[in-house]
Structure 1
Amino acid sequence: MSTADAWLLVALVPLLALGPVLWRVSRGAPGNRLIAQNLSSLLGGLALLPAAQGFGRPAYVDVALVLSVLGPVGTLIYARFLGVLPGSRLVRWTALLGVPAIVLPLCVATGPGRAMGKLLLIGALLIAGSVVTSAGGSRPDGGVANEGAANGGTANGGRTA
């Protein structure tokens, strides 16, 4: 097995994890869809980095850079429309464990230089964006994110519209 094949096997792991996540994007409640969208942008970025090394295509790293910036921005925009930013431990721990597990070996493989700096920047953006967007938040009307479950399970905290 060549090193390119090994990198492609590493890229296959986040791609396989993307299947159930995309199912949740298409078939979940709005809050769950938002979490799945957040996780799908993280997994997409994580799949592109080793694929760039395996295929020998540095342009995939640029796509991962764009995805690491626009993924969390998209999550925050949709959270604004929904009125709530749901918290997710899955997204947070996937970022905190998965990003270093993929980025650090890639940094060793590429060696010091501009490419390594770009990999570290992408890793930092993936972690920061995922941690910020998975922290949960309050609604614009001053309610808290879990208020609906505590007050009758309705989206507006048990109040009638």
Structure 2
Amino acid sequence: MSASDGWLLAALVPLLALAPVLWWIARGEPGDRLIAQNLTSLLAGLTVLPAAQGLGRPSYVDVALVLAVLGPTGTLIYARFLGVLPDSRLVRWTALVGVPATVLPLCVATGPGRAMLKLLLIGALLIAGSVVTSTGGSRPASGNGGAAK
């Protein structure tokens, strides 16, 4: 087994975790679907990073960067429509455990340089976006957006 096969096996773990999450998106309540959408963007980013290393395509890391930025943005937009941002420890802990477990070995394999800084930035964005969008909260019921009168 070559090193690239190991990276592809590592990419398979979050990819397989997407199957029940996609079912959750299809069958859940709106709040649960929002949590699942947030988890989907996180798992997709965690799938793309080791796959890029395993396939020898560093340009695929840009896809993870786009997911790290747009995933939480989409969650916040849908939360605005629903009027609530559900609390999800699953998303938070997946980010806090899964992102370092994925990004740090990739940084070691990549070595120092711009590629490593890019991986660290993506990791920070994945963690920050997931933590912010999984902390819960609700929009004020008044129509003035919460401004004081």
Please report the TM-score for the alignment, with normalisation by the length of structure 1: 0.87
CA distance in structure 2 between the partners assigned to 1:11 and 1:41 by the alignment: 14
Match of 1:47 in 2: 47
The 1-side partners of 2:89 and 2:101 are apart by 18
Secondary structure of 1:112's aligned partner: coil
User: Which structure 2 residue ranges, 5 or more long, are not aligned?
Assistant: 143-149
**SS state at 1:141 partner:** coil
Q: In the alignment, which residue of structure 2 is the partner of 1:148?
A: none
Distance, in Å, in 1 between the alignment partners of 2:66 and 2:22 is 20
Alpha-carbon offset, residue 139 of structure 1: 2.3
Structure 2 length-normalised TM = 0.94
Which has the larger share of strand?
A: 2
Question: Does residue 70 in structure 1 map to residue 54 in structure 2?
Answer: no
Q: Which amino acid aligns with 2:72?
A: P
Structure 1 equivalent of residue 106 of structure 2: 106
Alignment correspondent of 1:152:
none
CA distance in 1, matches of 2:27, 2:94: 22
Q: Which has the higher contact order (CA 8 A, sep 6+)?
A: 2
Q: Distance in 2 between matches of 1:93 and 1:141?
A: 30
Larger radius of gyration: 1
CA shift, 1:60, in A, is: 1.2
Question: What root-mean-square deviation, in Å, do the aligned CA atoms of Structure 1 and Structure 2 show?
Answer: 0.7
Equivalent position SS for 2:138: coil
Identity %: 82
Give deviations 1:20-62, integer Å, cap 9, x for gaps. Answer: 0011111100000000000000000000000000000112100
Could you say which structure has the higher helix fraction? 2
Runs of 4+ in structure 1 deviating by more than 4 angstroms, as ranges, are: none
Question: Which whole-Å CA distance do the structure 1 matches of 2:4 and 2:52 have between them?
Answer: 10
Q: Return the offset for 1:140.
A: 3.0
Q: Which runs of 5+ in 1 are unaligned?
A: 143-161
Equivalents in 2 of 1:137, 1:57: separation in Å?
Answer: 39
